Amino acid sequence: MNEAMIRQAYEIARERYAELGIDTEKALETLQKVQISIHCWQADDVAGFESTGDLTGGIQVNGNYPGKARNIDELRADLVKALSFIGGSHRINLHEIYGEFGGKKVDRDEVSIEHFQGWIDWAKANGVKLDFNSTSFSHPKSGSLSLSNPDKSIRDFWIEHTKRCRAIANEMGRQLDDQCIMNLWVHDGQKEMTVNRMLYRSLLKQSLDEIFTTKYDHMKDCLESKVFGIGLEAMTVGSSDFYTAYCAQNNKIVTLDTGHFHPTESVGDKVSSVLLFCPEIMLHVSRPMRWDSDHVTIMDDATLELCMEITRCNALDRVHIGLDYFDGSINRIGAYVVGTRATQKSVLRGLLEPVAKLSELELTDRNFQKLALMEEAKAMPFGDVWNMFCLRNNIPAGADFIKEIEKYEAEVTSKRN
């Protein structure tokens, strides 16, 4: 895009927003500081570097688009490429199965910091921070129950795994001088009508209590619920009620994955409720289509509602924004860039909302006026502010990144097989 045109359009946009009482400079400054936790697993369809086994645990990747990352070097190169089209400084969210195992079999209850030192060094060199996840899926002991398994030996295996992951996360946070957020999602559930709900849930609670006995200074725990997984349709042990209550009682961070609720539930609506009882929220922004399909995030109504709710609650410092989608049917670097930019754009839309005016109208019962202003706000030139964000970050504005990704595909990813 033409730089002079971007500047000119921005000046007009700045004045138009000022008329509504909004300072676009302040919005850009805030957006600059919003870190997105970018999931490493879009690059290789959640395969990881541990084995060549199938993806289990009720999640599924669809599509066979050529060029997925086959090893750690390719995955890192793809992430660096994607980051070059994303303004601001961000975080990379790793799963335990993405450790550097050097071709050796390192079982999940044997993993330690040595397998992630390379990632920490890479993060330092590339100016990103790290977040982490334990991995209970895609393993011979995954079955349908891990931390809630009535078989103590299996439960203990996953407890040991999760404890080790927390220690790794803490070391990541210490070395990078920034709290590492560790997410815990276990697929535990049942395919069929379940009679032992209380048993599984009390075992999960017990396992979590044991896992969290160690206190760390450089990591934070977050817990992710889900409504159901493929093949585990009848019940999920770690339901929304379970983790919301657990987090409220134990001062833990709630992870809200936008694909993990009933299709008509609003995740945006949950922000204020959760923040009144839990310290912080971690988001897994995704795009569920009919089910938890993990389509690439776009600036749709659900994402906008969620991001605008964060800014309305003035809670950007208590909500960590992470992404969680995996689409194997399109260019995967493109998937990263589209989803991350869409999330940033949605946050920007929130920052440019005339909240003070809308709030006053609502509190004084001027509801037609509120609705009218909300509608008109949708037609404000937010794209001109967004392009300025891109320009200042020295990244392609508008759709200019498309041809750059095509070039990387022609030169790099298409040559993988």
Three-class DSSP category at 34: coil
Question: Least distance from C-beta 340 to Zn ion, angstroms?
Answer: 16
Strand 36-39 relative to strand 319-323, pairing: parallel
User: Which pairing describes strands 189-190 and 129-133: parallel, antiparallel, or unpaired?
Assistant: unpaired
Our finding on whether 292 is near Zn ion (CB under 5 A) is: no
Residue 211 DSSP code: H
- Which residue is catalytic, options 284, 295, 320, 345? 284
Mark whether 224 is an active-site residue. yes
The listed partner (Zn ion, ligand RNT, none) that binds 157, CB under 5 to 8 Å by sort, is none
Of the candidates 131, 257, 280, 409, the residue annotated as catalytic is: 257
Question: Catalytic annotation on 187?
Answer: no
Q: What is the distance between the alpha carbons of residues 342 and 350, in angstroms, rounded to a whole number?
A: 12
Record the tokens describing residue 272, joined without a space.
Answer: 């204020």
Nearer to Zn ion, 142 or 387 (CB): 142
Candidate ranges 112-120, 206-214, 252-260, 339-347; the one touching Zn ion (CB under 5 A): 252-260
Is 221 catalytic? The answer is: no
The alpha carbon dihedral of 26, 387, 385, 87 has a sign of negative
| β-bridge pairing 281-285 and 291-295 | unpaired
Distance CA 29, CA 411 (A): 35
Match 């990813």 to its residue by tokens: 413
In angstroms, give the least distance from the CB of 389 to ligand RNT: 28
> Using CB distances below 5 to 8 A depending on partner kind, what does residue 267 bind out of Zn ion, ligand RNT, none?
none
Q: Which of ligand RNT, Zn ion, none does 41 bind, CB closer than 5 to 8 A by kind?
A: ligand RNT
Chain residues binding ligand RNT by CB under 6 A are 41, 46, 59, 95, 133, 185, 224, 226, 257, 284, 292, 324
Residues 407, 103: Cα–Cα separation, whole Å: 31
**Strands 235-236 and 189-190, bridge-based pairing:** antiparallel
Q: Where are the alpha helices (DSSP H) in 278-366?
A: 301-312, 332-351, 355-363
Verify whether residue 119 is a known catalytic residue: no
Q: Cβ 183 to Zn ion, closest distance in Å? A: 7
Give the CA radius of gyration of the chain: 22
Question: Of 81-89, 272-280, 281-289, 334-342, which segment contacts Zn ion by CB under 5 A?
Answer: 281-289
Residue 292 a catalytic site member? yes
Residue 375 corresponds to which tokens in the numbers above? 């509608």
Q: Name the active-site residue from 188, 309, 324, 384.
A: 324
| CB of 133 or CB of 413, closer to ligand RNT | 133
Check 50, 188, 280, 292 and give the catalytic one: 292
Q: Which is nearer to Zn ion, 50 or 257 (CB)?
A: 257
Site stretch for Zn ion (CB under 5 A), options 96-104, 107-115, 255-263, 409-417 = 255-263
Q: Are 310 and 316 in contact (CB under 8 A)?
A: yes
Please tell me what DSSP assigns to residue 179.
P
Structure tokens at 282: 């971690």
Q: Does 257 sit near Zn ion (CB under 5 A)?
A: yes
Nearer to ligand RNT, 17 or 242 (CB): 242
- Assess whether 226 carries a catalytic annotation: yes
Which is catalytic among the residues 78, 188, 294, 409?
Answer: 294
Check binding of 131 to Zn ion (CB under 5 A): no
Instruction: Pick the catalytic residue from 119, 122, 158, 185.
Output: 185
Question: Stretches 136-144, 249-257, 264-272, 329-337: which one binds Zn ion (CB under 5 A)?
Answer: 249-257
Q: Report the alpha-carbon distance of residue 306 to residue 285 in Å, rounded.
A: 9
Alpha carbon distances (Å) from 58 to 188, 191, 291: 9, 10, 12
Residues forming the site for Zn ion (CB under 5 A): 257, 284, 324
Catalytic residues: 185, 224, 226, 257, 260, 284, 292, 294, 324
